[in-house]
Structure 1
Amino acid sequence: MTMSHTPEVPETMRASVLSGVGEIAVEERPVPAVRPDEVLVRVAAVGVCGSDVHYYREGRIGDFVVDKPLVLGHEVSGRIVAVGADVDTGRIGERVAIEPQRPCRVCRQCKAGSYNLCPHMEFYATPPIDGAFCEYVTIQADFAHPVPDSLSDEAAALLEPLSVGIWAARKARIVPGSRVLIAGAGPIGVIAAQAAKAFGATEIIVSDPVADRRALVARFGATRTIDPVAESVRDLGVDAFIDASGATPAVVSGIGAVRGGGVVVLVGMGADEIALPIPLIQSRELIITGVFRYTDTWPVAAQLVASGQVDLDSLVTGRFSLEDAEKALNADRTPGSLKTIVVL
């Protein structure tokens, strides 16, 4: 296949491969071929997401089942080292953050601008599509987003979870002056708090039962923190509630914290089914919606970080090599761990 590239691109690469539940090892694999509309990226940094951990420990997330070897990782930054026949060769050498998805672009959802809901989506590290715990990846050229040199490789990789926070803020209809409740002060909760602040929210309340996490999120945008074990969040009357915990009690109590006509946004992965307070939802005419990835968020994410409105570098609490990817996937069990990066 015709492509232009830098002379140092090898024929093979190292890849950390999940072969079964709890079984991961580095293998030698061919460097992926580049389609005409794609670029080849030399990976610099990959963030570890909760979904990677789920696949590693459980082998599935809902209907997505790991039934053959899979490369994990979808929070990616790197540098373009080759381009397909239809891509400008001037992009070789560019630092980029990868939007890790390939929608079909022709279905009804794509045509409507909701490409995140494309039924034919190919998404990094979602069976059967390989992810980025490897040295090289391909992506359509327009989903390799240029990043300024002021962004570190790690921050560029974390534009992916920031995109989740931005998408949640958009879905929550956050505007200047909004009052927001966020459940969960893990990585997504902390990022969602920063996104809410950047969108203009003036009151950002974050609930989490872990004192250390409450203290951390207070440094990253939260104007108030709550221990849900000791204090109820019901009747706060916030404009929006974002669940980043997946915990059933947090979801139910958070719904009760929203004013009439407000919005509930479900981000966290939790139980497949829960009982909801239907009379309250009806009488307050609440809008309840989910978050499934994102659409058109990378340019905003990069600007928020470059402008200093969002701090991603300070969230990194662990760095591991590709050979230590298994340790990276278990780093969440270390007290104080927030965001882990695999550095290549």
Structure 2
Amino acid sequence: MKDVTLGLVGVGRIGVMHANNISALNGVLNPQGINVLLKLTDVAADHARNVAAGLGAEFLPSVGELISSGVDGLVIATGTGTHPDLIRAGVDAGIPVFCEKPVAMNVADSMPVLDYITENGGTVQIGHQRRFDAGYLEAKRSFDAGELGWIHSLRAVTCDMTPPPVEFLATSGGLFRDCSVHDFDILRWLTGREIVEVYARGSNNGDPAIGEVGDVDTALALVTFDDGTVGTVSATRYNGAGHDVRLEIQGSRASAMVGLDEKAALTSAEAGITFPSGEPHKTFAERFDQAYRSEMAAFVELILGRRENPCTPEDAVAASRVADAAQESLETGRPVRVAAAVSL
């Protein structure tokens, strides 16, 4: 049996989710001869101790002590502003790193981190979990197999049921950077093409405080790919029907829809139609529960050298470039060309 010890930094909402998923990995990986152990730390020490105790994990009082205690991989689930220094710490320790998106607060701050990773031979996986979702994987398979033909339109939707605290939105960088960046990433990943131009519009009809901190509660971006294909990316903080994440891929031969199942947060206006009849998801954590689990299992496989990196820092920064262009377009009211993108 091979022991793999993961060191988790940060046990806020998403950190606790990762802690639970790491602890559950043994049920998945034990048949492969892998035993996963967890150590964790957080500046909120009492909370972190309680989380560790509940999972049978080990608590360490600092990041330095966590790394020096002997871990095979570092999982970063802290605020965005801490990501660059923690990524560097993992790279300096010579261990693979998993970091929640984004790499840094903006693209400019991300570039020195990318250089540092490359110069020091680091391995860093970024947390774009949709790449592990069964629906997106099937859509990519059917597209790659030619079953859809050539794509003429793409429509990506991400709708939260309720907005996060205004205090978070004040530092999130805006709806496109915080939310739609997942759509920008998945569109690049699925099509294998770059988005070269964005034209965005937005509105504020919910809490006025969202506008007061410089954000919008609803936005739409028209994106153009390098081969001329067009698509739309829409997002809102106020989808009362439930958490709604979908992607419609329309091709010359067939179309596919990710997220159209019994839990879809919509109803048909057609007579006699009862689909979907399930209870919609309330949050992203429910919608992508299995994807988050698969993402962490993939990180363990990356540590063991059993797979290639499923989401590189370069991938994440490429999606952030599109989000930056969308935000600029939203602010200026003009189409914006996307800065030179990182190749897939």
The structure showing larger relative contact order (alpha-carbon pairs under 8 Å, at least 6 residues apart) is: 2
Same fold flag (TM > 0.5): no
Bigger share in strand:
1
Q: TM-score range by the shorter chain?
A: 0.3 to 0.5
Bigger share in helix:
2
Normalising by structure 1, what TM-score? 0.35
Normalising by structure 2, what TM-score? 0.35
